[in-house]
Chains A and B, each alone.
Chain A
Amino acid sequence: MSAEAHHDAALVAHQFDDFEQQKNADSLGMWLFLATEVLFFGGLFCGYSLYRNLYFEAFTAGSHLIKVGYGAFYTALLICSSLTMALGVRAAQLRKQMSLNVYLVLTLIMGAAFVFIKLRYEWYGDYLEHLVPGVNFAPRGEALEVISRFHATVPHVALFFIFYFCMTGVHALHMVVGVGLLATLLIKNKLGELTKGNYNWVEIVGLYWHFVDIVWIFLFPLLYLIGGRY
């Protein structure tokens, strides 16, 4: 507790009585926001679960048309970034400005890499294979074989791909916001604002970042591993 024993009164906003109240309030605020995010993604998960059960073959076929390698790589990347984020929060707790800087930069790079690789390689690849509904959805060749192998119909597979792009797209948007938040933290850290004993900002951005990671933890098996790969 020694790291937080002394708190400047200037760190406490006027509406709060003390540092403890402010910290608890900030934390609860972010958890409540994450609850709204659960319901936001939840609408998509609801539609997904309905259609997956109605058109299991089509969803299995669609899942086989995207690459497990990407999914597993993203999962590992995000788990790494969660580690660096958690270590960053710890550095802020210990008031280590340089360490915090390193961890924030690492997390940011991994988050940006996630979005970049997804857009430039995975999504662009799907585009080249004519698998983007609303743009050029017209599976051909091997894709058609996979679809017929699972006795699915092309329109239902299109439905899968709508969910695939929607869910990973909304997730990617959240990653972009997360990267923005990390950039803000980097600036604040440069100004020395995060290591004076008030590490709330880092903590709550951390909560957001871990949440986005958890969403991906579910998206990976639900989109990439439907029906198994045997």
Chain B
Amino acid sequence: MHVHPKRFYVTVFVALLVFTAVTTAAAYVDLGRMNTVVALAIAVCKATLVVLFFMHLKEQTGMTRVVILAALLWLAVLIGITSSDVFTRGWSERGRPWQQSTVAPVSYSNPSP
């Protein structure tokens, strides 16, 4: 594997520190909902830098990329589909938001009490 000069790593390191400073500073600015988006976007950038350069992904085989993608994709499936349950429960008569429920529980076998 190709040996990188020290300043290669130091450059990435400086970039990471800059990103950290930006994300911390941005938290003190009122961006409304965008605060979260910005923070996560910066985190993704930092993670990408670490993976590509510190973890040498650029020089790895295609299999490695598949592994990373699969892990992230499956995490997305876990969070996505679970959320699809929790956040669509309120869409139907029977599934009013359970944590604020004021509706009497409906039984499946006798829908109209």
Check A-B contact in the complex, CB < 8 A. yes
Please state if A225 and B83 are interface contacts (CB–CB under 8 Å): no
CA distance A229 to B50 in the complex (A): 27
- Asked if residues A83 and B10 are in contact (CB atoms below 8 Å), the reply is yes
Question: Looking at chain A's contact residues, is the secondary structure mostly helix, strand, loop, or mixed?
Answer: helix
Verify A85–B54 contact, CB threshold 8 A.
yes
Specify which chain A residues have a CB less than 8 angstroms from the CB of B63 in the assembled complex: 28
Task: Tell me the minimal C-beta distance from B75 to chain A in angstroms.
Answer: 4
> How many of chain A's residues touch chain B, expressed as a range?
35 or more
State in angstroms the CA–CA spacing of A205 and B91 once bound together: 48
Cβ of B78 under 8 Å from chain A: yes
- The reply on A3 being an interface residue by CB < 8 A is yes
Across the interface, which residues of A come within 8 angstroms of B13, CB to CB? 79-80, 82-83
> With an 8 A cutoff between CB atoms, is A137 at the interface?
no
Query: How many whole Å from A192's CB to the nearest CB in chain B?
Result: 20
- CB neighbours (8 Å) of A117 from chain B are none
The answer to whether residues A225 and B47 also contact, given A28-B67, A31-B64 and a CB cut-off of 8 A, is no
> Is B71 in contact with chain A by the CB < 8 A criterion?
yes
- For residue A87, CB closer than 8 A to chain B, the reply is yes
Question: Which of A90, A203, A213 is close to B9, meaning CB atoms less than 8 Å apart?
Answer: A90
A27 touches B64 (CB 8 A): yes
In chain B between 1 and 21, which residues have their CB closer than 8 angstroms to a CB of chain A? Answer: 1-4, 6, 9-10, 12-13, 16-17, 20
User: Which residues of A have CB within 8 Å of B51?
Assistant: 210, 214
**What's the least CB distance linking A188 to chain B, in Å?**
20
Contact residue among A4, A38, A207, A229 (Cβ-Cβ distance under 8 Å from B55): A207
Find chain B residues with CB under 8 A from A39 CB. Answer: 71, 74-75, 78
Provide the B27-48 mask, 1 if CB < 8 A to any CB of A, else 0: 1111100011001101100110
- List chain B residues, Cβ under 8 A from A210: 50-51, 54-55
Q: Given A39-B75, A221-B39, is A86 in contact with B9 using a C-beta cutoff of 8 Å?
A: yes
B22 to chain A, nearest CB (A): 11
Question: A79 touching B27 by the CB < 8 A rule?
Answer: no
Query: Which residue of A35, A50, A86, A206 contacts B71 across the interface (Cβ within 8 Å)?
Result: A35
- Other than the known A225-B24, A225-B27, A230-B30, what 13 A-B pairs have Cβ atoms closer than 8 Å? A27-B60, A28-B63, A35-B67, A39-B74, A43-B78, A50-B83, A54-B86, A82-B13, A83-B13, A221-B27, A221-B42, A228-B30, A230-B28
The residues of B with any CB-CB pair to A shorter than 8 Å are: 1-4, 6, 9-10, 12-13, 16-17, 20, 23-24, 27-31, 35-36, 39-40, 42-43, 46-47, 50-51, 53-56, 60-61, 63-64, 67-68, 70-72, 74-75, 78-79, 82-83, 86-87, 99
